Structure 1
Amino acid sequence: MVSQLLIAAVVGIGLGIFLQKGRFCFVHAFRDLFAFKDSRVTKGVLAATTITMLFWSIAYELGYYQKFWTPGWGLTGLIGGFVFGVGMTYAGGCASGTLYRAGQGYLHFWLTLAAMGVGYAVFTVLFPTLQTVYFEPLTFGEGVSLFTISPIPAPVLALLITIGIVLVYATVVGRERQGATADQAVAADGGQRVSAPVAGFQSLVHGTKQYVHGFSEIDDWVAASKRPWNPITAALGISVLALLWFTQVFIVGITGPEARWAGYLLQQVGLDSGSYAYWGSVLFKGKGVRVTADMMMITAVIVGAFIAAFWSGDFSIRVPKRKRIPNAVGGGFLMGAGSRLAPGCNIGNIYSGLAELSIHSFIATVGIVAGVYVMTHWIYRDVGCAV
C-alpha cells in the first residue's frame, strides 16, 4: 500500500504539472475545434491517446498490466456521455481540466468540484432504481477490450489503429492552414483565447543543453519551462505517467475516485456511506469506505498543478463572476451525474478507454463529443461555429 501511495504521489503530481503546462483540457480540444477550427489541443489529445494505446498494448502483450476497465456496452454510454459532454462544456472544463485549474487558483472550478460531488451523491441515492429502469434495459453486451479478443498481437493492432487515426486526421483536419494556430495558448479561465509563445520539447531540451555547456544560459531553460508547453509535449509526459500507473495500479480515471471522495467525506460527517449500494458494493467493493490509491492520485494532480502554476507565475486566487456561477454549479452537477450514468468521464472513456480499446468507451466517446458539439453550438448560437 505504501508503494502504491508513493506511485500515486509521483503520477498525480506529474499529471498535474503536464496538464497545467499543456493547458490540457478536453473542452478546449473539442469546443475550440468546433467553434474556431482551432485544433492545437485536439492534436495533443490525439497524441496522448494514441501514444498511451501503444504503450499499454506493449505492456499488455508482455503481461505487465493490472486490469482493463471494460463496463458493459450499450446506450448508457451514449446517454451518459452526452450528459457529461453538455455538462463539461457548460462548466468550461472537463474532469482533468477542472482539477488542474482548481490547483491554479480558480474558485469557479472548486465550485464545479463541489457540484460534481452533489451529482455523485444524487446518483448514488437513485442507483437502485436506475439499475432496473436504466442500466439493465440499456446495456446490451458484456464489456470487452479489443486487445483481449484480437487474433493479432496487441502492439500490431495498436499500430494499425494509430496509422489509421493519423491518415484520417491528415485528411479531415490537416487541411487547415499550417501554423495558423501554432502560437495560440488557451487561457485557463474557460473561454478566452490569447496569443502567447509556447514551449515545446525541443526548446526545453535546447535549454538543458545550454545549461550543460554553461551555467550562464540557465535562464533560457527557466524561461522555456515557465511558458505554456505545446500540448503534444504534455501528451508525451502524460502517456509515460499513465504507463507507470497502468502497470502498477490501474488505468487512469478521475470521476470514479472523485465519487469515492464524495462517499468518504460524507462518511466523515456522519453519513453511513457504506450502506448505500453504489458506494459500499460498487465503488469500494465491499472493503469499507476508505482512502484508496487512486483517490490520493487525483488529489496529487491538484498539488502538481499548483506547483506548475506557482513556478510559472500563473497561480492566483480568482473569484468567479456572478454570471458564471450557474455554469460551475449546473455544469458540475451534469458532469458528476453524467459520468456515473455513462459510466466514465473524458479521461476514463476518451483517454484511458480508447487507449485500452474498450467497446463501451467507443460508444461513450461518441456521446461525449456529441454533447460538446450541441452545447458549443448553443453557447455560440448568436455568432455561429466554424464546424
Structure 2
Amino acid sequence: MLVTILSGGLVGIVFGFVLQRTRFCMTGGFRDMYIAKNYTLFNAFIIAITVESIGVISLWKLGYISNPYEEYSVLGTLLGSYLFGIGIVLAGGCATGTWYRAGEGLIGSWVALIFYMLSAASMKYGALKGLNQLLTQNWVINDNLPKSLGISVWYFVALLTIISILIVLKELKSPKTEIAKLPPRYSGLRYLLFERTYHKYWAGFTIGIIALIAWPASEFTGRVGGLGITTPSANLITYITTGDARLLNWGVYLVLGIFLGSFIAAKGAGEFRWRIPDVPTLLKSSIGGLLMGVGASWAGGCTIGNGLTATAVISSKGWIALPVTILGVWTASYFIFVRPSQK
C-alpha cells in the first residue's frame, strides 16, 4: 500500500504541478482551435501523445508492461465523448483541468468536480449502472488499431513523430515577438518553479514524459494502464461513501496528487485564492460535471484516459474519442460563446 501511495501520489503531484504552472487544460485548447484559430495547445498535446507513444510502445514491445489493449464500445465512445466535450466547456475545464483548478481555490471547479465524481460513480457502481451498460454492452470491439488494420504499430508511431517534428520546426522558424515583462519577483530555483513562463510545447513534452512514467509506475502496483482520471475519481467518491478500501488503488492517489501538486504550485506562485462564482456559473459547473461523469463513463475515458493515454498506444478508442470530444467542445463553444456575440 505504501508503494502505491508514494508511486501514484508522486506522479500526481508532479503532474498537477506542471498542469498548474503551464495552464495546460485542453478545454481551452480545443475551444481556441475553433474560436481563435489558435492551435498552440493542441499541437502541444500532439507532442505529449508522441513522446508517450514512443516510450510506451517501446516498453510494451520489450515486455516491461502488459498488453495495453482492451475491449470497448464504439457506440459508447461516440456518444460519451461528445457529451464529455460539451460538459467540459460548461464546467470550465476538462477532468485534469477541474482537479488542478480546484487546487487553486476555484469554487466552481470544486462544484464541477463533485458532480463529475458523483455521476461517474453512479454510472460505474450505483443507480446509473444500467444506463451505463445500455450503451457500453453494444458494438464492442478490441481497440488494437494496428492489429485490426494489419499494420505495424511503429508506422503510426513514426507518423506521430514526423508530425511533432514538423510542429516544432515550424515554431522554431516563426518570428518571435518580444513581450514587455515585469521584473522577476523571485530568483534561482524559486523563479524557475514558480514564476518563469514555459512554452506550451515544453509543457507538452514534459507531460508526455510524465504520462510515460505512469505506465511502469502503475503496473508495479498491479494496475495495468497509464494516466486516467474518471475511474479513479469515481473510486475516490465511492470509497468516501462506502469505506471500501479495495477502491484505493494507484489511480486514486494519482488524482489526489494532482490536487496537491496544483495547490503547491498555486501557493508558491501566489496564485491561490478562494474564488466564488455567480449562480449561473455554479449551475453550468454542476451540469457540466454531470455530463462529464456520464460521458466519460460511456466513452471509457476522458481527455487524459482516451485523448492522451489511449491515443499513445494507437488505440482506435482513443483516436475516435479525441476528435469527437473536440466536436463536442466546438458545439458547446458555438452556443455559449459564438452565437451570443452574433446577436
**Contact 2:14–2:261, Cα closer than 8 Å, also in 1:** yes
- List gaps (5 residues or longer) in structure 1: 184-194, 200-217, 269-273, 275-287
**Contact 1:66–1:246, Cα closer than 8 Å, also in 2:** no
Q: Name 1:364's counterpart in structure 2.
A: 321
Q: Name 2:221's counterpart in structure 1.
A: none
SS for the counterpart of 1:328 is helix
Distance 1:99 1:115 in 2: 12
Amino acid at match of 1:126: L
Distance 1:81 1:179 in 2: 36
Q: Name 2:263's counterpart in structure 1.
A: 306
Q: Name 1:379's counterpart in structure 2.
A: 336
Q: Name 2:237's counterpart in structure 1.
A: 262
**1:1-387 matches, cutoff 5 A:** 1-123=1-123, 124-128=126-130, 130-131=132-133, 133-137=134-138, 139-146=139-146, 151-152=151-152, 154-155=153-154, 157-164=156-163, 219=187, 222-227=190-195, 228-249=197-218, 250-268=225-243, 289-380=246-337, 381-383=339-341
1:2-55 residue CA offsets vs partner (Å, 9 max, x unmatched): 323221122011001110111010101110121112223222212111111111
SS for the counterpart of 2:262 is helix
Q: CA deviation at 1:67?
A: 4.3
- List gaps (5 residues or longer) in structure 2: 219-224
SS for the counterpart of 1:72 is strand
Larger radius of gyration: 1
- Number of matched residues? 329
Give 4+ residue runs of structure 1 displaced > 4 Å after superposition.
147-151, 164-167, 177-180
Identity fraction in percent: 26
Amino acid at match of 1:322: V
TM-score (norm 2): 0.86
Distance 2:315 2:279 in 1: 40
TM-score (norm 1): 0.77
Q: CA deviation at 1:72?
A: 1.8
Q: Name 1:204's counterpart in structure 2.
A: none
Assess, with a 3 A threshold, how the Cα gap between structure 1 residues 351 and 373 changes in structure 2: closer, same or farther.
Answer: same
Assess, with a 3 A threshold, how the Cα gap between structure 1 residues 34 and 196 changes in structure 2: closer, same or farther.
Answer: farther
Distance 2:22 2:69 in 1: 26
Q: CA deviation at 1:244?
A: 1.7
Distance 1:196 1:295 in 2: 39
SS for the counterpart of 1:246 is helix
Distance 2:26 2:107 in 1: 20
**Contact 2:114–2:289, Cα closer than 8 Å, also in 1:** yes
CA RMSD of aligned residues (A): 2.9
Q: CA deviation at 1:96?
A: 0.6
Distance 1:59 1:357 in 2: 14
Assess, with a 3 A threshold, how the Cα gap between structure 1 residues 5 and 145 changes in structure 2: closer, same or farther.
Answer: farther
